Amino acid sequence: MNNTEWYSIRALTLPATAVALLVAFFIVWLVIRVQFPKKWAGVYGDAVFTFIVVWKFSIIVTDFKAVIAQPFALLYFNGGTIGVFLGVMAVSLQLWWKRQKIQFDASGIAAYSWAIILTQSIYQWLVVLLNDNQTTSEVITLLVLSTLTVFILWRITTINRALILYTIGLIIVALFQPHGLWQPTVGVSVILLILGIVIQRAGRI
């Protein structure tokens, strides 16, 4: 989806995609909080925190020169697309390293798939609602992702199948979106799918 709107809060301007992601994080945290034992909302919150911090400060990696020349660039800018991927990878590593401590039991694995699917779906819905894009790509995004989300959360209990089905759905939706397959949302979805499978394997052992 193309970002066509921006929101200004005093001197800070955020693109609609960033607003959508922040709102999605909050809603998903709420849903996880009521749906699963308290612990999992905490794990989700930690993951979101890691993602935001790494994404924000990854400008040190993506634009080292600018940060050295003007340290306050850290305050104003973020790592952009590369930063998003670094953030997702940091979250993956964090969950992997802490897998012993977190103990992904059955409810944890279900919470993981809920969190992954809902974060992506709510983000996509909000991006559609906040921006102005081609009507066909908007309608396909809304309809396919909402049917898929409700169906998976309601019916499918094995995480592998749930996440694979979801990622395939997301890829099909992406084909109808302006940027096609080569957009960060698709890459992120694949990484999260792999992480889900790995975590489930680890939980079994």
Chain positions contacting another protein, by CB under 8 A: 2-4, 6, 8, 10-13, 15, 27, 30-32, 34-36, 63, 66, 69-70, 72-73, 75-77, 80-81, 114, 118, 122, 125, 128-129, 135, 138, 142, 146, 149-150, 153-154
- In the complex, least distance from residue 8 CB atom to another protein, rounded to whole angstroms: 5
Tell me how far apart the alpha carbons of residues 161 and 152 are, in angstroms, rounded to a whole number: 9
Return phi, psi of residue 134, to 5°: -55, 135
**Where does the chain show beta strands of DSSP type E?**
6-9, 12-15
Closer CB to another protein, 84 or 95, in the complex: 84
- In the complex, least distance from residue 101 CB atom to another protein, rounded to whole angstroms: 25
Closer CB to another protein, 44 or 94, in the complex: 44
- In the complex, least distance from residue 97 CB atom to another protein, rounded to whole angstroms: 28
Place of tokens 């209990």: 157
Tell me how far apart the alpha carbons of residues 197 and 205 are, in angstroms, rounded to a whole number: 13
Closer CB to another protein, 79 or 196, in the complex: 79
The string of DSSP letters for 95-143 reads: HHHTHHHHT--HHHHHHHHHHHHHHHHHHHHHHHHHS---HHHHHHHHH
Q: Confirm if 96 and 200 have CB atoms less than 8 A apart.
A: no
Closer CB to another protein, 93 or 139, in the complex: 139
- In the complex, least distance from residue 201 CB atom to another protein, rounded to whole angstroms: 25
- In the complex, least distance from residue 86 CB atom to another protein, rounded to whole angstroms: 15
Q: Which of 9, 17, 13, 15 is nearest to 125 (CA)?
A: 17
- In the complex, least distance from residue 122 CB atom to another protein, rounded to whole angstroms: 7
Closer CB to another protein, 94 or 119, in the complex: 119
Q: Confirm if 61 and 40 have CB atoms less than 8 A apart.
A: no
The string over 11-35, giving b where at least 16 C-beta atoms fall within 10 Å of a residue's C-beta and e elsewhere, is eeeebbbebbbeebbeebbebbeeb
Closer CB to another protein, 3 or 160, in the complex: 3
